[in-house]
Amino acid sequence: MNISFEVVPRTEEATFEQLEFVEQNLPFVDTINIPDLLRLPIRSWDGAKLVNRQKYRYIPHVRAIDFDIKSTRLQQIIEANELDKILLVTGDPPPDRTHLVYSTDVVDLIKVIRRDFPNLEIYCGFDPYRHGVKQEKDYILDKFEAGADYILSQPFFDTRLLDIYADFLPADKVYWGVSPVITERSQAYWENVNKVVFPSDFKPDYQWNTDFAVKVLKHCQQTGSHCYFMPIRIDLQKYFLPIRQAMNW
C-alpha cells in the first residue's frame, strides 16, 4: 500500500514546512503529489527541486489544456526535470483569461506521452461525483487503454460509493482520495461546486473525518490499493495523530 500526501506549493517556504511535517510526523507516507495551480508562483514540476526524491515518490500534476499536443514543451519539461512519474488531468479554465489554453484532450495526451516515454509512470484522475458511475467508469477505462498506469480519485466521503468503484477498478492501480472537510462552509463548497453528496451521518468535524480516513486505509490494506491524502487548510497534527493511533503506525 502506497500513501500519498498532497503538498500545495503556496510558497517555497510553505512547501518546505509541509514536507518537513510529513518527514517528522508521517513515516507511513511514501509519495508526494504536487498540484499545478496557476494562481500560485510554483508550478508542479518545480517540486523536482524541493522534494527529497531519494525518500519520496514524487508526482507532479500537469494540466492537459496548458499544452499544445503538437508541440514538445511537455516532453522538454519531463526531460529537464528528470521526471519518472506524472499525473495528467484535463485542467480547469484559468482564472486569468490571458493565460493561453488549448483544446488538448487528456486521453490523447496520455497516448502521446506514453509513446515518447515508455518507462514513465503515468497517473490520471477521476471524480466519483462528476458524472454517473457508468460514464466515469468508461472515462477511466479509456485512460487505462490510452496508457495510464494508475488512477487517483478526487475525495470520497462515502465508503458505499467507494465500494461501487472498487468493484470494477484494479485495486493495485487505484489511489483512493481522502480530504478532511471540517467546517460547514467547506461542506457547502463541496456540495455546490463539486456536487458531492455527503452521507446522512456526515459531520464537518475532525472526529468524523479521521474515522472515515481510517476506514479508507483499512480498505486499502485489505485490497492492496493505495490512499491519497489531500489535507486542505487544517490542523495537520490534530487530523493525523488519531489516524496514526487507530492504525498503530
Q: What are the tens digits of pLDDT across the range 148-163?
A: 999 999 999 999 999 9
pLDDT tens track for 166-179: 999 999 999 999 99
The whole-model pTM stands at: 0.95
Cell of 67: 499544452
pLDDT tens track for 87-109: 999 998 877 777 789 999 999 99
